[in-house]
Amino acid sequence: MEVGQMQRQWVDYTKSLFMEGFLDGQFSIFEVVSIFFEDSEKLLNDLTFALCRKSYITFRNFCEEQNTDG
């Protein structure tokens, strides 16, 4: 893809965001939405880690007890 074509796509995309109300003059709405998604991703990753960690601890405890049912 040519640079000129990519720049044109960027301008069209930015224009559509303005028209749909996702951007204002200072891009503040876009920034709020971006921060929300970044924070959401971090929270989901933390939750996933916590859930996996709990499963690993439970599995390790079963192994230490030599419990074959676990």
Q: Does 39 map to a domain? A: yes
Q: Does 9 map to a domain? A: no
- Spatial neighbors of 69 by CB under 8 A, at least 6 apart, are 62
Q: How far apart are CA 20 and CA 16, in angstroms?
A: 6
pTM: 0.46
Each residue's pLDDT tens digit in the chain (70 positions)?
688 898 899 889 888 888 888 777 777 777 888 889 899 999 999 999 988 888 888 888 888 888 666 5
Nearest to 59 by CA among 47, 69, 46, 44: 69
Q: Does 3 map to a domain? A: no
Q: Does 59 map to a domain? A: yes
Domain holding 52, by residue range, is 24-70
- Total domains in the chain come to 1
